[in-house]
Structure 1
Amino acid sequence: MKRDAIISWTLVVAAVALSGVVYSMLVYGGRPVIGAIFSLFIGMPLIAFERRVALPRFHAWLHGLSTPAFLLLSMIAYYILILAGYIAGGTVLNLVGAISEPWKEIFILPWNVVIYTFVVTGTITFILRVRELLGRDIFTNLLLGRYRKPVQEERVFLFIDLVGSTSFAEKHGDLRTQQFLAALFTALAEPVRRYRGAIDDYIGDAVIITWPLERGIKHARCVNCVFEIIEQIEGNSGKWIAKFGQMPRLRAALHGGEIITAEIGVDHHKIAYFGDTVNTTARLESLCRSLERPVLISEELAQRLTLPPTINADYLGEHALRGRGQKIGVMALTRVRESAANLLQARIVGQPAE
């Protein structure tokens, strides 16, 4: 589990336990430890379910229902989870001698506990969903007001575009195309989280991903993210073909440099990025088509990071980009075949390849 996930779950566990302490002090006037333990038994299964950690298939099925059926079955599922947690917590505490209530009371769930649990877990889930909707970095920065005034900083940008989306739409229609894009963007999400990036925006069939420069170039996160996305799609080619009749083909471009970051908007707030770096990345992605290379990186960014042994960089010279006066050095990135990667790694560490 990555550091960010550990921190996130630690905060959630602490919030749930604290809510139990508060409830115990308000209702019983004491026993904060008992309240915290009960709260964890009752609340964490709900949080885990909402975060798709527990029962992910049932969660997906539930969210695919019509609204009336979803609401009814959700309430039933939540009640069962709360009851199961209440019984489990009471049983454990009774067995260790922490409480001495009659066993029959352990199996009777008070309605004030149900209501309080719904309020607490609902609030936590709402915050997590807003954070997920906006993105971890954007959510935090909006709360802190970091970009209320424009800030000059360095960032890495990754533009990913779906190849052939127009022809797919002509063949299958707009609804099917939207489903195809939704599945693709869902597939992108986990590699982006794993490599600590943030999805800034979706523009038609393209997605913009960004990192603070130091975070993005450390361990070549921005490059590894691209190829993990491609590898994940290729690894599930059978599912893509079975569901949509084809596998997504992507074009991607990486560039980094100075930009201006600012919070804009009145009714709808957004953190926006301004500057030549963003435009250059977009133009570089367009260059993928004419150069017939799926993944490009600016020479400037490539020189600031260390590529992993599994990635090969091919220098393509300097190219003029539309709307940009100066030419830019361009490199094409490709994956090294496994046997070649093992040989290269063996040469680096001075050991024979397997």
Structure 2
Amino acid sequence: MKIRKSYYKTIGKHIIVWTLAFALFNFLREYGQEIVRDVKEVDDFDLTKRIIFQTLLGLVSGFLFGTYAYWFHRFKFPKISFGKVIFIGALGYSLVIFLFIIIAFWSFANVFKADIDPEVVKNYFVSGQAWVLIIFCFLIGFLIEFVEEIDKKFGPGNLLKMLSGKFYRPKQEERVFMFLDMRSSTTVAEWLGHIRYSKLIQDCFKDISVVVAHNAQIYQYVGDEAVLTWSKKSKNFRYKDCIDAYYAFAKRLEDRKEHYCKKYGLLPEFKAGVHSGIVTVAEVGEIKREIAYHGDTINTAARIQAQCNTYKENLLVSEDVVKNLDSEQDWDIEEKGIVMLKGKTNKIKIYSIN
């Protein structure tokens, strides 16, 4: 269901983008041609047909491009540069439209039995009309992939928020934060060495993408630590997603145990602390901008995660999280006690969840 929903969302987005793109293509092609049409006494019916054709082309190509983009972004690329991913993605759009042109001519000739002279097809390419369309699709595809990659860098949806200036002035939000930290990271780093340890972190944080299926946003990476967050205003938000996300990540690592043990000689293990509450969100920075969260909620989540070693637990959560969980879930929730967290004046009750 989640795959189907994201697929239709991608299709819909591309249909809108490409319908507008081909409307722009038609505008650029026809702009300033009014005088030429008046001189040649050309009927506006030809222009109407071209507009209808460009609209249909936008709808059909939007569906095709959307399908391509969906599977392209699900493909796990080997470690290649940011620029290469964008270029390969854009090249794919050109290939799709090229195949579409070929299949369209073939369909009209063989399926619809239209009388198409082979010279017409040849002239369509020789005259440059097809190549203009292919290059146009490459450029728009390049722009789409560039925006997609930048959006990933800032976090899904944050680019649009920054462009709109939503967080230019600080605002308060209710959020859940999870701090994930690798166990025995110092020992592992000394054993593997800096380069292999960095590759291990890269692999782990590539696998952490599974949390997106549980509505998590990856706020930031700090060394071997990842910070996840959930907006309580989100219509799909459920507290159980915060717990499911952690165990989905743990399962992903376990499923790839052979890979990690073969490549690094160990299976990485992460501990986590979760807390919910009010935070302030604002766009910060001038040379390098980002959306940042501030407040006691974040500090508390980090402090709870630090207690995992003390209690020998992988996942600790605050009372605020536990009391909002669905009691029907098959979880083993155990109260660990009321503790005074470092840097805080008030004690807080924490729980383990297994």
Q: CA separation of 1:73/1:296 partners in 2, compared to 1, >3 Å: closer, same or farther?
A: closer
Deviates more, 1:305-314 or 1:36-45: 36-45
Q: CA separation of 1:297/1:119 partners in 2, compared to 1, >3 Å: closer, same or farther?
A: same
Length-normalised TM-score, structure 1: 0.80
Mapping of residues 59-78 of structure 1, within 5 Å = 60=77, 64=80
Cα contact 1:19–1:36 (8 A) shared by 2:
no
Deviates more, 1:94-103 or 1:154-163: 94-103
Cα contact 2:14–2:65 (8 A) shared by 1:
no
1:56, distance to aligned residue in structure 2 (A): 3.1
Cα contact 1:162–1:248 (8 A) shared by 2:
yes
1:18, distance to aligned residue in structure 2 (A): 2.8
Deviates more, 1:304-313 or 1:145-154: 304-313
Name the larger-Rg structure: 2
Aligned residue among 226, 232, 252 for 1:207: 226
Give the aligned partner of residue 19 of structure 2.
17
SS at structure 1 position matched to 2:157: helix
Give the aligned partner of residue 351 of structure 1.
none
Q: CA separation of 1:127/1:71 partners in 2, compared to 1, >3 Å: closer, same or farther?
A: closer
Mapping of residues 16-35 of structure 1, within 5 Å = 16-24=18-26, 26-27=28-29, 29-30=47-48, 31-35=50-54
Cα contact 2:15–2:59 (8 A) shared by 1:
yes
Give the aligned partner of residue 154 of structure 1.
174
SS at structure 2 position matched to 1:127: helix
Q: CA separation of 1:43/1:86 partners in 2, compared to 1, >3 Å: closer, same or farther?
A: farther
Give the aligned partner of residue 306 of structure 1.
326
Give the aligned partner of residue 44 of structure 2.
none
1:327, distance to aligned residue in structure 2 (A): 1.0
SS at structure 2 position matched to 1:280: helix
Give the aligned partner of residue 230 of structure 1.
250
Q: CA separation of 1:256/1:219 partners in 2, compared to 1, >3 Å: closer, same or farther?
A: closer
SS at structure 1 position matched to 2:238: helix
Alpha-carbon deviations, 1:98-150, whole Å to 9, x = none? 98653454476432122211111111111111111111132232122221111
Aligned residue among 94, 99, 111 for 2:131: 111
Mapped partners of 1:131, 1:323: distance in 2:
35
Identity of aligned residues (%): 22
1:236, distance to aligned residue in structure 2 (A): 2.1
Mapping of residues 39-54 of structure 1, within 5 Å = 39=58, 52-53=71-72
Structure 1 residue runs without a partner (length 5+):
335-354
Alpha-carbon deviations, 1:291-315, whole Å to 9, x = none? 1100011012211232562322111
1:86, distance to aligned residue in structure 2 (A): 2.5
SS at structure 1 position matched to 2:325: coil
Cα contact 1:37–1:89 (8 A) shared by 2:
no
Q: CA separation of 1:124/1:104 partners in 2, compared to 1, >3 Å: closer, same or farther?
A: farther
RMSD over aligned Cα, in angstroms? 3.3
Cα contact 1:195–1:221 (8 A) shared by 2:
yes
Number of residue pairs aligned between Structure 1 and Structure 2: 329
SS at structure 1 position matched to 2:25: helix
Alpha-carbon deviations, 1:263-313, whole Å to 9, x = none? 111122211111110000001111001111000110122112325623221
Mapping of residues 1-354 of structure 1, within 5 Å = 1-2=1-2, 3=5, 6-24=8-26, 26-27=28-29, 29-30=47-48, 31-39=50-58, 52-53=71-72, 56=75, 60=77, 64=80, 80-92=95-107, 102-103=117-118, 105-106=120-121, 109=125, 110-191=130-211, 193-215=212-234, 218=238, 220-306=240-326, 309-334=329-354
Cα contact 1:157–1:211 (8 A) shared by 2:
yes
